[in-house]
């Protein structure tokens, strides 16, 4: 099923983003195939989008993603009483972390350092060369996202920007920049959702046949 073609059919205004979305898909596929993870960050509604993306990747999206028989057998060896329940209820996931979700660390950074460095601190601590950082900013100029992406590139991570308008500073440094053709914040966010849904569908289809 060609989810990218379906996306463009439903949202023809995104036809100019097709190549960038496809490139982002390949970056994510390479990351997960290498055993890496996705770090995602945004502010406000884009922070909610970051959480949303993680929710689609870490468990089944439209597929069940059952555990392998090998892993279920390992569960039996550890805990025979509860292995069947655990094995039937958890699903395979792709490792993804929303950087907006860590309240204690966030408030510690605000108190001890600088609020704009919160995401960069997490990228530095979590990130490795085989990982990808996805920065979401409707303007492309959010300082905390820009600092995080700069840190990610310094760690040789892959980088993706999901933005709008002119793309801002993020578009200038990201490996792949998906710049939707809108300038108002809410309209940009309305187009971000179907894009990351399509990416999650494409990734799920690749890894969970």
Half-sphere exposure of 123 (CA within 13 A, CB side): 31
Over its C-alpha atoms, the chain yields an Rg (Å, rounded) of 18
Look over the chain and give the mean of its residue pLDDT values, rounded to a whole number: 96
Q: What is the DSSP letter of 75?
A: H
Burial classification of residue 33, based on how many CB atoms lie within 10 Å of its CB (0-12 exposed, 13-18 middle, 19 or more buried): exposed
Q: Give 150-174 as a 3 state SS string.
A: HHHHHCCCEEEEEEECCCHHHHHHC
Q: Tokens in use for 193? A: 């959702």
Tens-place pLDDT, residues 77-109? 999 999 999 999 999 999 999 999 888 988 888
Helix axes 3-10, 185-207, angle to 10 degrees: 160
Write out pLDDT tens, residues 128-146. 999 999 999 999 999 999 9
Handedness of CA 157, 158, 164, 170 (dihedral sign): positive
Contacts of 49 (CB under 8 A, 6+ apart): 42, 136, 162, 189, 192, 193, 196
pTM of the full structure: 0.95
- B/e letters for 180-202, b = 16+ CB within 10 Å, e = fewer, are bebeeeeebbebbeebbbbbbbb
* Each residue's pLDDT tens digit, 116-132: 999 999 999 999 999 99
Query: Do 9 and 203 meet the contact criterion of CB atoms below 8 Å apart?
Result: no
pLDDT of amino acid 121: 95
Each residue of 21-51: pLDDT tens digit? 999 999 999 999 999 999 999 999 999 999 9
């Amino acid at each position: 099923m060609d989810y990218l073609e379906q996306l463009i059919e439903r949202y023809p205004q995104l036809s100019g983003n097709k190549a960038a979305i496809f490139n982002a898909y390949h970056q994510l596929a390479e990351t997960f195939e290498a055993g890496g993870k996705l770090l995602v960050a945004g502010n406000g509604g884009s922070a909610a989008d970051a959480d949303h993306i993680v929710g689609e990747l870490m468990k089944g999206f439209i597929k069940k993603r059952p555990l392998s028989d090998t892993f279920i057998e390992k569960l039996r060896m550890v805990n025979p009483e509860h292995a069947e329940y655990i094995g039937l209820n958890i699903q395979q996931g792709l490792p993804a972390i929303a950087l907006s979700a860590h309240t204690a660390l966030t408030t510690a950074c605000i108190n001890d350092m600088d609020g704009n460095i919160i995401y960069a601190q997490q990228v530095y601590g979590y990130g490795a060369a085989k990982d990808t950082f996805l920065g979401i900013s409707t303007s492309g100029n959010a300082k905390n996202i820009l600092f995080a992406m700069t840190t990610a590139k310094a760690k040789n991570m892959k980088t993706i920007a999901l933005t709008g308008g002119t793309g801002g500073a993020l578009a200038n440094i990201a490996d792949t920049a998906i710049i939707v053709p809108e300038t108002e914040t809410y309209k940009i966010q309305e187009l971000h959702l179907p894009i990351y849904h399509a990416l999650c569908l494409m990734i799920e289809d690749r890894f969970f046949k």
